[in-house]
Chain A
């Protein structure tokens, strides 16, 4: 048996050996990194978390694009921590010497500025999605800040509302379930619902409540609303699919699934299945698979000089992407190409889903 002293000594030697070994290893790892940096850029995805289906599919799209290009792809996850998100990106910029393309869904709106500034300073190319301050513009960071992509929440909210209204025959009461009150996407989607309601006088909004994007909360909420309004509820509008499926399960517990149509946003698998079964009237998706791959592709086109961002028109620099509508008419096709297998996307068609410049203000 070793005495305590022996163990200590062994530990010390081990630690020293470990430190030396680690330093040598890092040196070796850094060296070819620098050398290779000349040749091949690194593709970097920065997202909030992999614990939600949306970002998980985003990563799959990014992986698919990287594979098609034969490039190394790194995914950074901020876990909802802005500082970690930015620090990880800085570390990647240092590691690659700026020879990289970043596709980022910044954790919070203010994060976009330090991310873009760090990339511009290091000479990397960056595409942001969803979140950026109103006064931050890609055109002010030529050529490094290539594009910013969002999806028009007002249009999504309005489109699904109109399909819901049609599904219940143009008249009757509906209930609406919103996302987190202070969230931009939630506010925009509700605005779209309000526009659709204004245009359809036969539809009565019985109540609007929020369930914070969560299935469990939507489940309890819908149970309560079923008590309050009973059979007056002809349809349910949900600001995302997760809440929509929670509402659907509440309907199912009352034997109402399929009788009261539900609509949502995101195109998650459970919702697509529900569209197939006729329990959901429709869902729309921003297509995270496309977002994950195309964000990198747009950045890579700039890095490899296939496009010059400074010469692109404004609607290529800050634009709304095209959301896909999934209804019973196209659901089988969508299911076959997007859920059973991965869609084949032409990654070189970088402006194919531009629907117009982003509204200011």
Chain B
């Protein structure tokens, strides 16, 4: 073999390896499903798959927002604050047991707008005041939490609007409406990522902000738009959460931040930005949800479940991330 063809085949195998890496999360998901089904055939019953989908609805909606932020190479810690604000707004404006408001779907719209506004603030604070996303969104997290604690007076308020409750309780073709909403949200995110300028610009900035800026992209505007967009997703998730639980309290978003970052990373989107996307996050969410559902089905002791989840995260990242290209691991 001459040098040229050897080089060619080397490059070919590298590309193959990378493609395999890209498929790793999907393979993990499939293997996981097969293993769990072997251990407990109840897993593949339609009834259970619908339950898995139902559990995945809120995390998926959150992960869609988080994906765009991580693609930028930033991080958004305000998830729990935004969910809390959105759930607070929807429950206080729709029929509830604390006041006499009854604005129905307008309440849900207001909730999404409120959460989007929080994202907008995160974006503006970062770009105009030049504060790293980590700190800026940590700030908006606590601002959001503080406002909803104040508004709810520390209590749990029940959501009485039957139309909003229907998101969780009504089924279309046997599948709860919340799952349909999550599917629409996914489609929306997919469109933005692949068919809009914003999606391409986010990708470009994540790949290399200086290069992107030189090629005429305004990173500040893209950042503000991306964080506002993420806020919209968190807002929808907040409404779904309130509908599922039939109530809202200030800590309704507790634990959601960790879960959404985990799902995005397990799906193969690199924390360094510019690599991965919403399809990866869909798979990541399914891996995490299937794993926790599976552990319940297998009757794994709660004492070891967290450990298994931790191992899973490390394994998935190890499989999906092309570490040979990381010069420094920090």
Binds B, one of A99-107, A193-201, A219-227, A307-315: A219-227
A273 contact set on B, CB distance < 8 A: 158
Complex contact B252–A216 (CB within 8 A):
yes
Give the residues in chain A near B47, CB-CB below 8 Å: 227
Secondary structure at the A interface, as helix, strand, loop or mixed, is helix
User: What mask results when residues 143 to 163 of chain B are scored 1 for a CB within 8 Å of chain A, else 0?
Assistant: 001000100011110100000
Q: Is A98 an interface residue (CB 8 A)?
A: no
**Interface locus among B209-217, B226-234, B297-305:** B297-305
Of A31-39, A154-162, A246-254, the stretch lying at the interface with chain B is A246-254
Q: Which residues of B contact A221 (CB under 8 A)?
A: 296
Residues of A within 8 A of B51 (CB): 223-224, 226-227
B169 touches A253 (CB 8 A): yes
List the B side residues contacting A49 at CB < 8 Å: 149, 154
How far is B156's CA from A57's CA once the two chains are assembled, in angstroms? Answer: 12
- Beyond A181-B302, A249-B168, whether A228 also contacts B297 by CB under 8 A is yes
A246 close to B42 (CB less than 8 A): no
Contact between chains at A181 and B303 (CB < 8 Å): yes
Contact with A along B232-251 (1 / 0, CB 8 A): 00000000010011110111
Q: A226-B51, A249-B245, A253-B176 are in contact. Are A207 and B299 (CB under 8 A)?
A: yes
CB within 8 Å of B: which A206-261 residues: 207-210, 212, 214-217, 219-221, 223-228, 230, 242, 245-246, 249, 252-253
Pick from B247, B251, B255: contact of A51, CB under 8 Å: B251
Complex alpha-carbon distance, A208 and B303, angstroms: 11
Asked if B154 and A51 sit within 8 Å, CB to CB, the answer is yes
Asked if A56 is at the interface (CB within 8 A of a chain B CB), the reply is yes
Q: A224 contacts B255, CB within 8 Å?
A: no
Task: Check A52–B169 contact: CB distance below 8 A.
Answer: no
**Chain B residues within 8 Å of A220, by CB:** 55, 292-293
Q: Which of A56, A208, A227 contacts B302 (CB 8 A)?
A: A208
B40 touches A (CB below 8 Å): yes
What residues of chain A lie closer than 8 Å to B293, measured between beta carbons? 220, 223-224, 227
Kindly state the separation between the CA atoms of A55 and B152 in the bound complex, as whole angstroms: 13
CA distance A220 to B241 in the complex (A): 12
Shortest distance between the CB of A68 and any CB in chain B (Å): 22
Contact check, A228 vs B55: say whether CB atoms are below 8 A apart. Answer: no
The answer to whether B155 and A56 have CB atoms under 8 Å apart is yes
Chain A interface residue count, Cβ-Cβ cutoff 8 angstroms: 39
CA distance A207 to B158 in the complex (A): 29
- A269 contacts across to B, CB distance below 8 A: 97, 155-156, 158
| Closest-CB distance, B299 to chain A (whole angstroms) | 6
Report Cα–Cα, A215/B299, bound state, in Å: 21
Measured between beta carbons, the chain A residues less than 8 angstroms from B40 are: 228
B54 touches A223 (CB 8 A): yes
Q: Roughly how many angstroms separate A10 CA and B245 CA in the complex, as a whole number?
A: 54
Let me know if A228 and B299 touch, CB within 8 A.
yes
Q: When A51-B154, A252-B169 are in contact, do A227 and B55 touch as well, CB less than 8 Å?
A: no
| A268 in contact (CB, < 8 A) | yes
Which residues of chain B are near A181, meaning CB under 8 Å?
Answer: 302-303
Q: Mark A264-276, 1 if CB is under 8 A from B, else 0.
A: 0000111001000
Say whether B48 faces chain A, with CB atoms less than 8 Å apart.
Answer: yes
What's the Cα separation between A219 and B243 when bound, in Å? Answer: 12
A163 within 8 A of B: no
A295 at the interface (CB under 8 A from B): no
CB of A53 within 8 Å of the partner chain: yes
Interface membership of B322, Cβ < 8 A: no
Does B2 count as interface, using CB distance less than 8 angstroms? no
Task: List, in ascending order, chain A residues with CB within 8 A of B246's CB.
Answer: 245, 249, 252, 270
Q: Which of B153, B158, B168, B252 contacts A270 (CB 8 A)?
A: B158
Q: Assuming the A-B contacts A214-B254, A249-B245, are A209 and B48 also in contact, with contact meaning beta carbons closer than 8 angstroms in the complex?
A: no
Rounded to whole Å, the gap between the CB of B249 and the closest CB of chain A is 7
* Complex Cα spacing A249 to B246, Å: 7
Give me 16 A-to-B residue pairs in the complex whose CB atoms sit less than 8 angstroms apart, sorted by A's number. A49-B149, A50-B149, A51-B145, A56-B153, A57-B155, A207-B296, A216-B241, A221-B296, A223-B293, A224-B292, A224-B293, A224-B297, A227-B51, A228-B296, A249-B168, A253-B176
Q: Interface residues, chain A, CB within 8 Å of chain B? A: 49-53, 55-57, 178, 181, 207-210, 212, 214-217, 219-221, 223-228, 230, 242, 245-246, 249, 252-253, 268-270, 273
Nearest first, the 5 closest Cβ-Cβ pairs linking A and B are: A56-B154, A224-B296, A227-B48, A51-B149, A51-B250
Q: In the complex, given contacts A216-B254, A227-B48, what are 7 additional A-B residue pairs having Cβ atoms less than 8 angstroms apart?
A: A56-B155, A207-B296, A227-B47, A228-B296, A246-B245, A268-B156, A269-B155
